[in-house]
Amino acid sequence: MTSTIIYKGQLRCSATHNQSGTIIETDAPTDNRGKGERFSPTDLLCVSLGTCIITTMGIKATDMGIDLSGARLEVQKHMLPDPRRVGKVEVTLYFPASLQLDEKSRLILERTGDNCPVKKSLHPDLETVIAYHWDA
């Protein structure tokens, strides 16, 4: 078992990672009866995509002798109505200008990010836009 989730009431949950004991709390967003004081479940879906992209890139980069420390990601979620769902996720990655990579290395890392496990697990109807900025 990966986690244990407790519904706390008032549209909030507490999820405990069983191996480490780390806790994530969620809240419904303000546009769906929540207080918006924590990540929403749909926020976490988008955050999962972003962190999976950079994590898989980090694994590949390590194998290539490259350190991606300092990379920054911005994630934007776009909701659709009826049925309410995430319709589009935009992930923009910014890499430090000090990271000088040749075009081949950049392409290898981008392909790795584009094929991360979370991306491959998402329904094809969910539009994903991933942009890489190498000299930010």
- Judge if 107 and 124 occupy the same domain: yes
pTM, to two decimals:
0.94
Same domain? 83 vs 105: yes
Number of domains in the chain: 2
Residues 21 and 45 in one domain: no
* Spans in the chain with pLDDT lower than 50: none
The closest alpha carbon to 40, from 99, 86, 106, 107, belongs to 86
Structural domain containing residue 82 = 41-133
Do 67 and 94 belong to one domain? yes
Using left for φ > 0, alpha for ψ between -120 and 50, and beta otherwise, residue 111 falls in alpha
What pLDDT score was predicted for residue 1?
79
- Examine the domain organization and report whether 121 and 71 are in the same domain: yes
- Kindly report, residue by residue over 12-32, the tens digit of the pLDDT: 999 999 999 999 999 999 999
106 and 52 housed in the same domain: yes
CATH assignment of the domain containing 124: 3.30.300.20
Report d(CA 41, CA 124) in Å as an integer: 19
